Structure 1
Amino acid sequence: MNRATRRRCRPPLPLALLSLALLHAQGAWAQDAELDRPLVLKRTPQLAETIPPLLRSQLPTFVDGDKISGRPDLETVVEGNATLRRGDLSLRADRLEYYQPDDRARATGNVRINQAGNVYEGPELELKLETFEGFFNKVRYRFLETGGHGDAERIDFVDSNVSVARRATYTTCRPEDYPGWMPAWLLSAATLTTDTEDNVGVATNARLTFMGITTPPFPSLSFPLSNDRKSGMLPPVIGIDSVNGIDITTPYYWNIAPNRDATLYPTVMSKRGINLGTEFRYLEEKYSGEIRADYMPDDRLRDGRDRWGVWTHHSQTFDAQYFGLDSLVGTLAINRVSDNDYWRDFTRTPSLTQRLLANDGSLNWAKGDWSGVARVLSYQTLQYAPAPIVPPYDRMPQITANYNKFDWNGFDFSLNNDYTRFEAKPLEQGGQPNGERVFSVASLSRPFLTPGTFVVPKVMLNATAYQFDGPLLTNGATHADRVVPTFSLDSGLIFERDANYFGRAFRQTLEPRAFYVYTPFRNQNYLPVYDTAQNDFNFATVYTENAFSGDDRISDSNLLTLGVTTRLIDPDTGAEAARFGIAQRLRFADQLVTMPGGVPVTDRFSDLLLGAQINWTPKWSVDGTVQYNPDTQTSARTAISARYNPSPYRTISAAYRYQADTTPTSNDGNRAVDVSWQWPLNDLWGDKGQDLGPGRGQGGGRWYAVGRLNYSLESSKLTDGVLGFEYDGCCWIGRVVLERVTTGQATASTRIMFQLELVGFAALGSSPRRTLTQNIQRYTPLRTPSIGPSRFTNYD
């Protein structure tokens, strides 16, 4: 027979059944004229990525070649350009013998198998097609998922997922076409077992060679064949820290289930001892969360004390309909450590360097226009003698109920209710007693809106009642109440015009705004302060009714805020290219309600607030805010930041911040400069690289500089800093990063992190990725996990 001759060796049973079904359907349609319409095939949106086992056994087998001979239902022999196909299996060879009774194929001469994208090549193969059992001699192979490849004396196929290679090698380095090429790294093993279902490889008597340096043999070594999780020992993490000394972590990962896992990470610290840590994560249909616990017995840094920390987060959705609600969600967060020095000594915990650790449990509900929270909140305050802090009050408990009704006959109405019991140590609060507070605020507004104008009058009524555990130091009262009305009027205009700046067309707006608020004076200065603070002065708060956050103070106000904003909008995309704004408050009467120790506000004109944000192109942006005092003709606060991000792996950001000192004895303020960057050093000598897609870098042989410097101009010292280099060797990545974290007024923790990442295999050393992501704005990792390629991307 010639090459075009093709024999189907196994009849497709489903096709015969489909034919009978069509005959039956045609007979039914002939009897019913109302259903007489042509048959339409059902379309599928994509080819199946995996073939089910039941369907695999029913798939037909196709063979072709230059010459085909044999006996029907016994054997088929194909000589010259032989090809056999079944499902996701493609087999090519010079000569192919297929024995139908035991479904066995034997191929010789330039044999190539493509099994769901994984390719094997060699001189001789014997294989049972349905069970994928057999062997392959002197084989070269390449895995689709990682691009890993190698060779072996022999591969034994156990089934379609598991294979065992003898005297095998493995690497993910792409072969180069020149004599004497050797991969940058290579794994050699006596046996190499791969399981594509579990996506894991196990090598025995394995040696790892990197840049010509070979390790001693490992009895057993496992590695992933994809980005999927797998149980087993993770590569050791080695770091050098000014507090811990040399620390070595040997983590073990336990992939309990697709939705649950745990990590054990014992760490040996040369200056301190052994730290035992564990983390458990879970994701269920109704609840999810994570738990982490660390324990260090006999810490030599702190006179042999036992140190521990616990961090948990849990979220759960309940059956709201059972309680007659629309939604019911509970959350629980626990953050506790053993002592006040924990935040300085353990800077890589979930709480980082926080000194206020919140322990919070809440139940959130919603029903129609109503919503509310039942909450218990307690803080652990970590004190530090040079800079003590006043602990916040615990809320034991807090219960809220809120009602919001919008566009009710043109009106918007809201009612917010809050009951809270505040508890703290009275001595830490200056003798202020614990107490209970009930707070309610009702609000009614009537927006008048047109495309170019808005006017929103609003009235509010704030009512508060207190019950104290003891007499107040201010007037000896054990209870108090307060009712405060407020009227506000918010109004503005919106003008638009076509404009052209620097050769670019825009839609420009001009938006003047006036906000008036009147709240009569009610004496509140004798009341305790449980959760209230002075509002920051910025564009978010300048148009609000109350000068305080929290509910213990309602500022008396008779003031008018005037402001204007202009925007440049791209008429094609609607993106905002630039925004400029200015605002100032005009006070018609002194503000008499103050925080404890404060003085009444008597200035008739507030500081001038100026702001700008420019996003001329997606590559760069500038953002700045200035609080200018017209009386002293100086800036009370300045914040200016700029970012340049022309492409992935290229970003530079810089910020300057100034805050005037409020103490009368000082004329200077706090000034700081913050700079961060990620940039390819190869750009300096003209090697611009290429865009290989997200998370794949810009080509091998490239150096990257990464870092962040936060420098205090006031004290002339570096407060926090990160400085490092990354090298992309295509199939391996090297990283060296130095980090400095300030943990006190005169103390800092410094550590150096080294990491060698063998792409698609393992990472050795201490990973700086979390540090770089947290410190460098828009940092892009050189490699990120991605969805595995389809078997059709390597289809024969």
Structure 2
Amino acid sequence: MASGAGLSAAQEAPSAAELDWRWKSQLPESVRNSLPVFCEGGYLPSGTGDGGLIASGDAAASDGEAVPLHASGLTARYEIDKELYLQGDVRLSQGSFQVTGPEARYNQSIGLVSIQGPLVSRGEGFVLTGERAKYSVESGRFDINTATFLLHGPEMRGRAGSLSRFDDSLVEIRDGMLTTCGPQQNDWAIVASDIKLDQAEGFGTAKHVRLEVLDVPVFYWPYASFPIDDRRKTGFLYPQFGSSSAGSGAFIAVPYYLNLAPHYDATLTPQYIHGRGLFNELEGRYLSTLGQTTLQLGYIDNDSTYKDENPGENGQRWALDASTRAALGSGWNGYGDFSSVSDEDYLGDLNRSLDINQATHLQRKGGVRYQGPNQYFDVYINDYQTVSDRIAQADRPYAQLPEVIYAGTAEAGWFEAGLESQYTWFYRDNETLTGLDRANGQRFRARPELALPMRALWGFSRPSVSLDYTRYELDDYSAGDGAFDRTVPVVEWDNGLYFDRQSSLFDVPYNQTLEPRLYYAWADAEEDQNYIPSFDTDVQTFRFEQLFQPDRFVGGDRVGDANQLTVALTSRFNDLLTGAERARVSIGQVQYFDDREVTLFGEGGGTRSRSPLAGEVVLNPLQNLQIRSSGLWDPDTGETEEGRSQLVFHSQDYRYLASVGHTYSKDNLEQSDIAAVLPATDRVSLIGRWVYDSTLDRTVGSLAGIEYNNCCWSVQLVHQNYLTDDQELDSRILFQVQLKGLGGSGGASTSISNAIYGFDERERRRFGTP
């Protein structure tokens, strides 16, 4: 009868998690402030729970001697050298082992303590409760029947038919359940016949594992290994699944992580794609004392859908992406990037995890770079894979085999001397090309400069003279001798004044500046340079920043003629309390004194006497709100030629995200972009983005979804439309489940992060401390 009463009392006693769990209002302020809004409560810090003892000391004395057992109770009966019987508020401790309960017997002959529950045992970051327990004084092993447990670090709780605690870090559970959900909230749980939690190694293992959702089994593993902290561990990661109408169909992937050594690891992701077959991706990472190298591979041996769409192809498809970075010391760095795919449709059909963007050209580049206080040196080789066969050979980029860049400055009394130089060997396959497009060869460019910088608190003036020299040694050159040079003298004079005043707005003191600027540029370039091939040159898009540049071309094959004066004005408003720049307004215009005769095969010239007005406005009225707008307005026609505007907002905790954008280019493009993440409740958020092209009068991209969070799991479900290379609007469904402390499946958050500003930071904070 007494035994039955004891069982009833144990069952009614609070679990280990319930001992330390509190509603949010009952938690210490430091813990309460760290909880996400969707958590109703949390755990007290380790060692502050009710009725427990704070663990201290070691299991053994520092000199190797046995640590004595300390015991107390309201009543005691002792048989010398045989048995100690304690009853009523029993407390036992030996080193870091501590337990409380109503009754205990200590058998001295075998060194075994039997404790009758309900009992509570506490250690560093650990709480155990149970019905009955046995403790070995010599080995420190602690066995509990009908147990519950709480790990404070990962906030992982559970129950067990029986539990063995070998030390502060190692626990074995039989017929157990564990979850990171709060007490009485079994939204999900892992149930297994045998569970081993090793806090020293940072992982757990389990046999005959069931994943249960609301007590309903949904998945089974014969064996599983899972992390219980942030350390890496070899084992299966959570399955990924999804669907797309862009040719991939439904897929399921089961990643396997290999923690091969502290400095290198790998992830193998086999996945089955409906209609295509078995597709494998492999990522390897290697970290040396110099830097990190990453290698990513994708391979499918027999893509049935691709073979049906491309008769004659064998269905083998692959992709490779490799990158390396090395800090060599003393300002030297090495780098390398290499990407390649088997066919032009691979990126759209198969790529989900490789760091290769949808692109027409994939870069292969490697070199070494030096960055010093007054010098810069870079030497590399660079080539491309043109992914699309539809791109004409004449439109494909040149390889640089190699390119060498050197730049440096030096003080010479009142003067400043500088040099920018570049040597490049350009090459591409020219077998099918004619005219200037056939040309390959070497180009050397040097731009020495002598300037007289003058600076004061109220302004600056910097007159300078430079000589832009270019030398060509070309092969397969059709316009004459392939060896020729070009020399262009350039004069610049940059001037600025600085005025400021202090005032206040809404009781906030601020400093306003007024910064007028005059910039003159003159370049005596020959008018006709179209006998020179275009290896890497293009016309710069006119922006506010270009007001203060002498050349309207980017690249080395054209040097623009110039005789022009820029007049500009900038005003800033700085918060004197925080130092933050709350607003910046700039406007400027170029006055041309001569026509621009130099062109890039007809582009880049001009006869107008003044440029459009170029302006930009940046407003930061709040720490989490930025409004940015820039544009070009033609005073001669009264028309806006170009405009870009964007508003970006996020709340302090990143629960609210919003951005509104508009892009306009006369006779070319007009797009509007709206994106937001808005909480509907503390746990439910709405996710959306819409991109509309007014020129095409159609939607060119959209994303709509919903996110649910509580304190132990979250789910994201989104529908995405996106424009493909063939101008078709494809769609896909993305789904992601995140189980707190155990990772997640699916890939929705990555796509949302790419679409909505601030969402990646929001993901980081969802289960962490802001």
Q: TM-score range by the shorter chain?
A: 0.7 to 0.9
Q: What is the Cα deviation at residue 85 of structure 1?
A: 4.6
Q: What is the Cα deviation at residue 632 of structure 1?
A: 1.6
**Worse overlay, 96-105 or 240-249:** 96-105
Q: For 2:272 and 2:157, how far apart are their aligned partners in 1?
A: 36
Equivalence for 1:708:
689
Equivalence for 2:208:
205
Say whether 1:239 aligns with 2:242.
Answer: yes
Distance 1:163 1:454, change over 3 A: same
Where 1:302 maps in the other structure, the secondary structure is: helix
Distance 1:329 1:503, change over 3 A: closer
Equivalence for 1:167:
175
Equivalence for 1:456:
462
Q: Deviations over 1:620-651 (max 9, x none)?
A: 22110120011221011011111232332101
- Match for 1:312 among 322, 331, 336? 322
Equivalence for 2:358:
353
Where 1:772 maps in the other structure, the secondary structure is: helix
Where 1:265 maps in the other structure, the secondary structure is: strand
Equivalence for 2:516:
512
Check conservation: 2:560, 2:598, Cα contact below 8 A. yes
Check conservation: 1:624, 1:639, Cα contact below 8 A. yes
What is the root-mean-square deviation in Å for CA atoms of aligned residues?
A: 3.1
Equivalence for 2:647:
642
- AA in 2 matched with 1:546: D
**Worse overlay, 602-611 or 67-76:** 67-76
Equivalence for 1:262:
266
Where 1:344 maps in the other structure, the secondary structure is: helix
Say whether 1:252 aligns with 2:256.
Answer: yes
Q: Deviations over 1:458-503 (max 9, x none)?
A: 221221110001223xx32311111222111111111111233455
Check conservation: 1:508, 1:567, Cα contact below 8 A. yes
Equivalence for 2:757:
777
Q: For 2:655 and 2:697, how far apart are their aligned partners in 1?
A: 31
Q: Deviations over 1:515-547 (max 9, x none)?
A: 111111235332111112112211222111222
Equivalence for 1:745:
726
Equivalence for 2:279:
275
Q: What is the Cα deviation at residue 549 of structure 1?
A: 1.4
Equivalence for 2:658:
652
Alignment of 1:8-87 (within 5 A): 63=70, 65-66=72-73, 80-85=88-93
Distance 1:56 1:597, change over 3 A: farther
- AA in 2 matched with 1:374: V
Alignment of 1:441-480 (within 5 A): 441-472=447-478, 475-480=479-484
Alignment of 1:614-763 (within 5 A): 614-647=619-652, 648-661=654-667, 669-682=668-681, 689=682, 702-763=683-744
- AA in 2 matched with 1:228: R
Q: For 1:386 and 1:379, how far apart are their aligned partners in 2?
A: 13
Distance 1:760 1:113, change over 3 A: same
Q: For 1:515 and 1:340, how far apart are their aligned partners in 2?
A: 47
Distance 1:356 1:334, change over 3 A: same
Alignment of 1:490-639 (within 5 A): 490-501=494-505, 504-523=508-527, 524-598=529-603, 600-639=605-644
Distance 1:408 1:125, change over 3 A: farther
Q: What is the Cα deviation at residue 215 of structure 1?
A: 3.2
- The number of residue pairs the alignment matches comes to 703
Equivalence for 1:229:
232
- Match for 2:493 among 477, 489, 499? 489
- Match for 1:125 among 118, 133, 155? 133
Distance 1:627 1:75, change over 3 A: farther
Q: For 2:66 and 2:573, how far apart are their aligned partners in 1?
A: 62
Equivalence for 2:306:
302
Distance 1:400 1:425, change over 3 A: same
Q: For 1:711 and 1:440, how far apart are their aligned partners in 2?
A: 46
Where 1:540 maps in the other structure, the secondary structure is: helix
Q: For 1:781 and 1:286, how far apart are their aligned partners in 2?
A: 29
Structure 1 unpaired stretches of 5+: 1-46, 177-181, 321-325, 662-668, 683-688, 690-701, 790-796
Check conservation: 2:204, 2:227, Cα contact below 8 A. yes
Q: For 2:693 and 2:706, how far apart are their aligned partners in 1?
A: 24
Q: Deviations over 1:227-272 (max 9, x none)?
A: 3322112222121111111111111111112332111111211122
Where 1:671 maps in the other structure, the secondary structure is: strand
- AA in 1 matched with 2:458: G
Distance 1:296 1:54, change over 3 A: farther
- AA in 1 matched with 2:660: A
Distance 1:600 1:167, change over 3 A: closer
Distance 1:114 1:411, change over 3 A: farther
- AA in 2 matched with 1:712: D
- Match for 2:222 among 203, 219, 224? 219
Q: Deviations over 1:275-325 (max 9, x none)?
A: 11100012221231110000112222322431110000112234x5xxxxx
Q: TM-score, normalised by structure 1?
A: 0.82
Check conservation: 1:240, 1:247, Cα contact below 8 A. yes
Q: Deviations over 1:178-208 (max 9, x none)?
A: xxxx522233222222222232222323333
Say whether 1:183 aligns with 2:186.
Answer: yes
Say whether 1:196 aligns with 2:196.
Answer: no
Q: For 1:589 and 1:144, how far apart are their aligned partners in 2?
A: 75
Distance 1:52 1:368, change over 3 A: farther
Q: For 2:92 and 2:685, how far apart are their aligned partners in 1?
A: 48
- AA in 1 matched with 2:639: T
Q: For 2:686 and 2:562, how far apart are their aligned partners in 1?
A: 53
Where 2:395 maps in the other structure, the secondary structure is: coil
Equivalence for 1:413:
417
Structure 2 unpaired stretches of 5+: 1-53, 308-313
- AA in 2 matched with 1:514: L
Equivalence for 2:45:
none
Where 1:334 maps in the other structure, the secondary structure is: strand
Q: What is the Cα deviation at residue 561 of structure 1?
A: 0.4
Q: For 1:433 and 1:52, how far apart are their aligned partners in 2?
A: 79
**Worse overlay, 651-660 or 59-68:** 59-68
Q: For 1:390 and 1:368, how far apart are their aligned partners in 2?
A: 39
Q: For 2:371 and 2:392, how far apart are their aligned partners in 1?
A: 42
**Worse overlay, 578-587 or 340-349:** 340-349
- AA in 2 matched with 1:247: F
Q: TM-score, normalised by structure 2?
A: 0.85
Distance 1:259 1:78, change over 3 A: farther
Check conservation: 2:73, 2:91, Cα contact below 8 A. no
Q: What is the Cα deviation at residue 357 of structure 1?
A: 0.5
Distance 1:788 1:240, change over 3 A: closer
- AA in 2 matched with 1:677: A
**Worse overlay, 580-589 or 61-70:** 61-70
Distance 1:453 1:217, change over 3 A: closer
Q: Deviations over 1:130-161 (max 9, x none)?
A: 75423112111011222121111211234543
Q: Deviations over 1:569-622 (max 9, x none)?
A: 101111011111110000111222221222632111101112111111123221
Q: For 2:406 and 2:63, how far apart are their aligned partners in 1?
A: 59
- AA in 2 matched with 1:722: L
- AA in 1 matched with 2:222: P
Percent of residue pairs bearing the same amino acid type: 25
Q: Deviations over 1:345-390 (max 9, x none)?
A: 2353321211111001101235774441220100111226499992
Distance 1:76 1:283, change over 3 A: farther
